[in-house]
Amino acid sequence: MSAIFNTIRTDLHNRFGHAVDTATIDALLDETYQRHLATAVIKEFVPVLVEREVAEQLNGIGLNKRQRVIFVSRDDRSLADAAVALVNRLSDDVVATSAATHPENFGNDVLESVLAERGLTRRAGDRAFGQHTGRALDAADVVVYMTDKENQDVPGIRQVVWDFGDIEATTIEQARELADDLEIRVMRMLNTLAPRTVGPALAA
């Protein structure tokens, strides 16, 4: 199966794996893939058709998908990654990813040190911790632009702009204030998506 189906499989696991075991999702995906592949005239359309059908079937049997949030950051990708880590820590019902519009921007060292103190840095194996794929069917429920400088061109049902102002933290105090601000914003957003799953505030 091509790389696109590996991505689809991962997406379905992330969005429905809290409600049904992954083996059931895999079996449904594989059966649907084979059925469409056998009759497809234009095989390039198969991934779109398969993902849509499997998601509809899972929704149809009463499984609520996890909502997806994408954090977009141009100036400081560490801030977007920290937002993803906060979502992963605070909620089991939301899948978060980051989309660095300028991946070469590694972030601010002072801010990174504060985020590391709070366990909010990128770690291998974190649930859904990775870059947004950009696929049309990967459209988020909410796209959060971390500053008002972002081009609002990431597909999503709802677009939100968080204007942090100057995110170039140069002191520990500034970085801690920025991290506190980020935590408050993430918790408020989660309360609009899945209020019963949000945990207590993190310790500073």
Task: Residue 164: name the closest of 148, 186, 180 by CA.
Answer: 148
Cβ(186)–Cβ(160) below 8 Å: no
Task: Residue 74: name the closest of 173, 161, 159 by CA.
Answer: 161
Task: Residue 20: name the closest of 50, 54, 49, 46 by CA.
Answer: 54
Neighbour-count burial for 53-64, b at 16+ CB within 10 Å, e otherwise: bbbeebeeeebe
Sequence ranges of the domains in the chain:
3-60, 67-197
Q: What is the mean pLDDT of residues 174-196?
A: 82
Q: What is the mean pLDDT of residues 74-99?
A: 83
The predicted pLDDT at position 100 comes to 63
Q: What is the pLDDT of residues 121-179, one digit of tens each?
A: 765 444 444 445 555 445 688 899 988 877 788 888 888 998 876 666 678 888 888 88
- Taking the C-alpha atoms of residue 194 and residue 100, their distance in angstroms, rounded to an integer, is 25
What φ, ψ does residue 160 adopt, rounded to 5°? -130, 135
Owner of token pair 């870059």: 131
- To the nearest whole percent, how much of the chain has pLDDT over 90? 3
The predicted pLDDT at position 98 comes to 85
Fold of 67-197: Rossmann fold (3.40.50)
- Taking the C-alpha atoms of residue 55 and residue 168, their distance in angstroms, rounded to an integer, is 41
The predicted pLDDT at position 62 comes to 56
Q: Is the pTM of this model over 0.75?
A: no
What Rg value do the Cα atoms of the chain yield, rounded?
18
Owner of token pair 């937002």: 83
Give me 29's structure tokens.
């995906």
Q: What is the pLDDT of residues 32-70, one digit of tens each?
A: 888 888 888 788 888 888 888 887 777 766 556 678 899
